[in-house]
Amino acid sequence: MPKFQAPRGTRDLLPADATTYRRMSDIASRLSELYGYRPIETPMFEDSAVFERGIGEVTDIVEKELFRIRSPGSDEDRWALRPEATAGICRAFVEHGMHTLPQPVRLATFGPMFRYDRPQAGRYRQFYQWNVEAIGDAGPAIDAELIELALRFVRDVGVQDVELHLNSIGDAACRPAYIAALVEYLAKYEDALPPTERHRLRANPLRVLDTRDARTQAILDDAPTIDAFLCPACRDHFDSLLAHLDRLEVPIHRAPRLVRGLDYYTRTAFELYQRGAEGQQSALGGGGRYDGLIELFGARPTPGVGFALGIDRIAMLAAKQGVAESIGKPVAVVVGADPAATDVRLALATQLRAAGVATGADLAPRKLGRQLEGAAREGAHFAIVIGDELEAGQVQLRDLEAGTQRLVNVADLVRELQRAHASHRHGESDTSPTAT
Ligand code: HAM
């Protein structure tokens, strides 16, 4: 075993994975621009209080998962690595007086987050999110815009079977009555609850709803849901959101017990799951409305709504569904019958690259058979075989996946490759299908 390894819960993203992440970041940038969400970058660490106040003192994230940092020479953990982006973005909104900008302020960021959790598949100590926020609009149309955007990202990545779980968790006017009903119900089972959940029941009862403990989950099966407690304003907001989503033809799954793991939410709360894979562990992303958060940072009340998608989990699902396989591979590799004619191969590859086709070239002076083996190993869709036909301006275009081959004019090669590759490839929705 090597002496040094990446810290537990972190991973090196080697070229295959890094390519997938890069592509997702590109899709995120393209969609942010398309929907009018402007980029923002906040520091990787903040005053711990930003997270304690924003996310909530009695949450897993703050109680157990903050990577706290001490300045040299200090005896106090004043800072913490960011476990999520929303609190920092709201801190920046207030600090820079963004309430004077035209509202809502639409912001997006893509980058690493840090949570000291027990590592397992899809749960890391350093993970990546695409985080999108709209601050300054009370909704509900903007809630629908964001939900549709989150689903659009997943669709553009090419991942299938993703379901939207949606709930309203009320607001300061109606939630207290629901919490009282929940506490009354859970109190009957207090002895059966594990110590953590008993602590939660007293300190922050809603958190019990996102327990990871199977016994508590079974007890919760019959617990009251918030639906019956929503006040007229929250009910209207939710009904209108449902109507907007219906108009956008976004299918939803009502999840009456969904509360999210952070305290700042009001009204709209949602999560994305692979169909049939529910449970806190496997959410591909989540978000909701946080109308009270900006106020906690000392500014006047300003509504907000947003989401974050878990890039690592979406990448895992993409790999499972075979979507990631075509990412980052050359569309074609140029090979040739004359091992020594590396100049001809390099010249044709350069010409195709200039036209925007991701092209490899076999530049070793080896036999054609070996060159073709290399092209297949690289995962190229096509091999362009240069032979005697080149004198007549033609090459053989071999489809390595279909095992077919035909003569093509060099002048038509770019168009032919783009057409054949685009019709084959999935998950691509922009207009440059060959630019991998
Ligand atoms: P969150 O639900 O805590 O929400 O995280 C969003 C997503 O990040 C999760 O659904 C999951 O896919 C991914 N994620 C969370 N923890 C890990 C981990 N340890 N390893 C891998 N992936 C993980 C938020 O962070 C909110 N700030 C979302 C938001 C934005 N709400 C409003 N605006």
pTM above 0.75, yes or no: yes
Residue 263, ligand 1, Cβ within 6 A: no
Burial readout 220-239 (b: 16 or more C-beta within 10 A, e: otherwise): beebbbbeebbeeebeebbe
Q: Are 318 and 20 in contact (CB under 8 A)?
A: yes
Residue 131, ligand 1, Cβ within 6 A: yes
* Separation of CA 223 and ligand 1 centre (Å): 25
* Separation of CA 281 and ligand 1 centre (Å): 11
What is the reported pLDDT for 423? Answer: 67
Mean pLDDT per 10-residue section of the chain, whose length is 436 residues: 93 92 94 96 97 88 93 93 97 97 97 95 96 96 97 93 96 94 94 92 90 90 94 97 96 92 92 80 92 94 97 94 76 95 94 90 94 92 95 96 94 90 52 36
* Separation of CA 220 and ligand 1 centre (Å): 23
Q: What is the DSSP letter of 123?
A: B
The number of helices, as runs of H, and strands, as runs of E, in the chain is 14, 16
What is the reported pLDDT for 2? Answer: 87
Q: Are 37 and 104 in contact (CB under 8 A)?
A: no
What is the reported pLDDT for 424? Answer: 63
What is the reported pLDDT for 434? Answer: 37
Q: Are 267 and 287 in contact (CB under 8 A)?
A: no
> What distance in Å separates the CA atoms of residue 397 and residue 411, rounded to the nearest whole number?
13
> What distance in Å separates the CA atoms of residue 38 and residue 343, rounded to the nearest whole number?
45
Coil/strand/helix, residue 342: helix
What is the reported pLDDT for 269? Answer: 97
Please report the DSSP string for 151-207 in residue order: HHHHHHHT---EEEEEEE---TTTHHHHHHHHHHHHHTTGGGS-HHHHHHHHH-GGG
Residue 143, ligand 1, Cβ within 6 A: no
> What distance in Å separates the CA atoms of residue 260 and residue 206, rounded to the nearest whole number?
9
Does the bond joining 112 to the residue before it have cis omega, within 30 degrees of 0?
no
What is the reported pLDDT for 282? Answer: 84
Query: Which residue's CA lies nearest to atom 20 of ligand 1?
Result: 123
What is the reported pLDDT for 419? Answer: 84
What is the reported pLDDT for 322? Answer: 85
What is the reported pLDDT for 278? Answer: 65
